[in-house]
Amino acid sequence: MLGALIAQGEAGGIDRITLEALVEEASARGAHQAMSRLGLEDRSARRDMDDLRELLAAWRSAKRSALKALVGWVVRLGLAILCAGIAFQAGLLAMDMAA
């Protein structure tokens, strides 16, 4: 699309350098407007974005650690139940049903 517009402008008598400068200026203004709408136009925006990235990385790490811990506990519980079942079948754990 941009190439077609530049070709059209050149056909209309506008030189390529002027067209590229217009495109560059429009892109810069659009980016600035987008950043302003997001509240990221001030000097602390870079630090804010770095903090958000750090927070997101910490969240992902905590999520991964919690999942690993949960899987570990489930495996341990499964093995404990398996061992109890084997011990019961072998008669090591006698369940006295008479009361």
**Per-residue pLDDT, 52:** 93
pLDDT in tens, 45-69: 889 889 999 999 999 999 999 999 9
Buried b (16+ CB within 10 A) or exposed e, 61-93: eeeeeeeeeeeeeeeeeeeeeeeeeeeeeeeee
Does 71 score more than 90 pLDDT? yes
Average pLDDT over residues 30-58: 90
State percent of the chain over pLDDT 90: 45
Say if pTM beats, i.e. exceeds, 0.85.
no
